[in-house]
Chain A
């Protein structure tokens, strides 16, 4: 019987009723487990989860023929306290700021050695990507080097104790943007929109994703591997420690980031958006903010807005994303 309705549709990781090819890489008991157990990431770390999701998909897409280059940051520190490592793939640790350049070099070396079939992924946190690594990354993009660069965006320098980065959202409390004064937390009007900066380089493929939509994340990594040249995926990864969210809420918080419109999920090819993920269950930004102590100063002890002005400002940002990326499908008129 060809009934294409599987109880959990394509939302869950697997599904006994769906064809194997319609299930995720993660649902496969034989997945690569690129980042295996015993790592020292915090309980419920979204970065550890996102990295395994992305790299396992890449491992499948490349048949295991790949190398990862990793900037300094939590992902490197928690996975590889020398001489122990959690990585189950060929993996380099670069410096904090030069992962894109090192990845370029690895790709060039492979090509020279006639191993162009081995693919290269560069990866870093948001600090390593949008701040200190930005120059190297922009160069990698403009030269269209054959590297997929993945940013695991947890919206601050987490490994050194939650300092602000160029990807920290407005109003968020960090160690360097304390929740004091008239405009507590990170100021509005600063920071960088890295996916759009990547698109501005006109590279073949740019996408955003989160740990809340596994099918989408895997599809994008797989799609990225179909291109040659510079590609960029920006993955929002919840950080329970830095965001002050419950470790069990890692996926829930990331999901709310998308359902509020604060984090638009889309794909772009050669500088043009080709697809965005519609919001399925719209939610006000408050629902997202309330789950995180980095926004605690916006609420009173009972969870009621203490700074409606700031919340409204964040809501306006979300609404702008919704309009810009078409995140809420227009009602089709029935006439």
Chain B
């Protein structure tokens, strides 16, 4: 045996024997945070998850993810005011993700491909009444049916859809879209009975043996203002105008139309008036353009179609075709105050768009259900003071939008299911919010928002054709990929790459990563370089 000098007598060892994890005072952990888009979605869609699925072209899976919360993606991809987009973190990088356009793309795909919803759950033997087939009623019916209940919807109008049919004009929401999505709900076994008004809810439930009811009758009556009017003035309300237009019996408006009010209904009435032939459609509103409650995009669309806005003005009287207008000014608190300055405006018709109110006479026989100002009092589970009667949509306190109504319907359906089974629903705790300062936006490629095509101006004032077009597939894919996956790992491999100690391991393609705490020194580099803020440092237990 040769005698080795000391320095080469030892066998080579690996540094893997040296467990550097013992240096650590804090450890990184993977977390899931609630993205602001989902947090802001009243229907509770898991937006990030469906965008993630859409990113690699898994459109049907993405659509099914939407359908877990919302049965009307093609409708909502057009008419929703998309509070998700308002909340989207990407605004701080360039522009918000076009969530709404993506939802429409997926919704339209589902209709053209004929994807069918999940089948109804196993029969529970319970029978539920839904009053009203607007978005609130349809959402509740769909979710109740998924849970296996028998569902009957009573609707007073000749066709289902509520304001999706009789309110929102077809140039924003083509009727075949509404019909397609309603038919899909019916295909699951939801029975919609049109032309059937529920006058006495208590009697209907008792006589027809319903175990529970969801009330979503909406706000159908236009509010009126006391305007001193002479004999010849023609005044009607916006909901009537829109309803009659839908029924192919549009009223004769004349050449000059004044619309009174500053909300979305006012914009829809004005744009409809233009399409019905009004050469001059003027919106008269008490406050400034900035303070109009109408959605900014809607206001812009109206202006683009030649609608004139006359703000800081009220109508104080009408005589023949002459309106008396008083100029207002905003006081320190932003309230409009009269100035005494008067001018005249000529109009063949005045359309009042001052809001809608509900007809809740069907509750008259159930006195314990509290109704104040057309609003029904409900708990967090959407149940009224009468056990088994739930309510949602425009007749409960809230933002009065489609997505709110859909969210109410879903929440009520789950609570009704629990109530009928004799237990109460536990709502899972919400994850902490994925706030923008947790993102490392360096990693996101620069990519401005894809723009949806718009119908040319001439056709926008002469037809009821849809104004806003959809995205084609390549733009849709691009748009989905703009999502930053706020607060949830999207497998970019950054943590796996940037660890100087190889202490991040891949589980497999689908399941992300795991820390190897034997070697993690706790430097926090992975936390810092995670684009979406899905890693946190937590103190090591001593």
Contact = CB atoms under 8 A, between A and B. Distances in A.
A9 interface: yes
A247 B20 CA distance: 15
A12 B11 CA distance: 40
18 contacts: A1-B474, A8-B443, A12-B443, A12-B493, A13-B494, A15-B493, A16-B509, A24-B493, A24-B497, A38-B15, A40-B18, A52-B500, A79-B15, A83-B13, A84-B15, A86-B14, A248-B523, A252-B528
Contacts of B481: 3, 5-7, 17
A2 B478 CA distance: 10
Interface in B435-462: 442-445, 447
B496 A13 contact: yes
A260 B194 CA distance: 68
B91 to A, nearest CB: 17
Nearest to A39: B15
A16 B491 contact: yes
A11 B443 contact: yes
Interface string B489-511: 01111101111111100100100
Contact of A37 (B23, B516, B527): B516
Given A39-B20, A79-B15, 19 more contacts: A1-B57, A1-B477, A5-B447, A5-B481, A7-B492, A14-B493, A15-B491, A17-B56, A26-B497, A37-B20, A39-B15, A43-B522, A44-B523, A45-B500, A46-B500, A48-B501, A83-B10, A85-B12, A251-B525
B478 A84 contact: no
A13 B474 contact: no
Interface string A222-260: 000000000000000000100000111111100100000
A35 B14 CA distance: 11
Contacts of A15: 491-493
B533 to A, nearest CB: 13
B138 interface: no
Interface residues of B, number: 57
B66 interface: no
Nearest to A80: B15
B493 A23 contact: yes
Given A12-B492, A13-B496, A37-B516, A83 B522 contact: no
Contact of B523 (A9, A23, A247): A247
Interface string A270-289: 00000000000100000000
Contacts of A35: 502
Nearest to A12: B492
A7 B445 CA distance: 6
B484 to A, nearest CB: 7
A2 B509 CA distance: 22
A1 B502 contact: no
Contact of B14 (A6, A8, A38, A252): A38
Contacts of A190: none
A92 to B, nearest CB: 14
Interface string B1-31: 0000001001111111111100100000000
B482 interface: yes
Contacts of A255: 442
Contacts of A83: 10-13
A93 to B, nearest CB: 11
Contacts of B521: 43-44
Nearest to B497: A13
Contact of B444 (A8, A37, A39, A247): A8
Contacts of B474: 1-3
A12 B531 contact: yes
Nearest to A23: B493
Contacts, number: 168
Contacts of A14: 491-494, 496-497
Contact of B18 (A24, A38, A43, A252): A38
A86 B500 contact: no
B525 A3 contact: no
B473 interface: yes
Interface string A202-233: 00000000000010000000000000000000
B263 interface: no
B321 interface: no
B164 interface: no
A44 to B, nearest CB: 4
Contacts of B477: 1, 3
Interface in A25-76: 26-27, 29, 33, 35-41, 43-46, 48-49, 52
Contacts of B56: 16-17
Contacts of B509: 16
B69 interface: no
Given A14-B496, A16-B490, A5 B18 contact: no
A115 to B, nearest CB: 22
B480 to A, nearest CB: 9
A252 B441 CA distance: 12
B10 A82 contact: yes
Nearest to A249: B528
Q: Chain B CB within 10 Å — which of A9, A13, A46, A255 has the most?
A: A13
B210 interface: no
Nearest to B55: A17
Contacts of B485: 7
A35 B492 CA distance: 22
Given A36-B16, A38-B18, A251 B444 contact: no
A194 to B, nearest CB: 23
Contacts of B13: 83-85
Closest 3 CB pairs of A and B: A14-B493, A9-B445, A13-B497
B150 interface: no
A35 B525 CA distance: 18
A29 B11 CA distance: 29
Nearest to A50: B500
B434 to A, nearest CB: 16
A251 B491 contact: no
A38 B11 CA distance: 17
Interface in A107-141: none
Contacts of B522: 43
Nearest to A15: B492
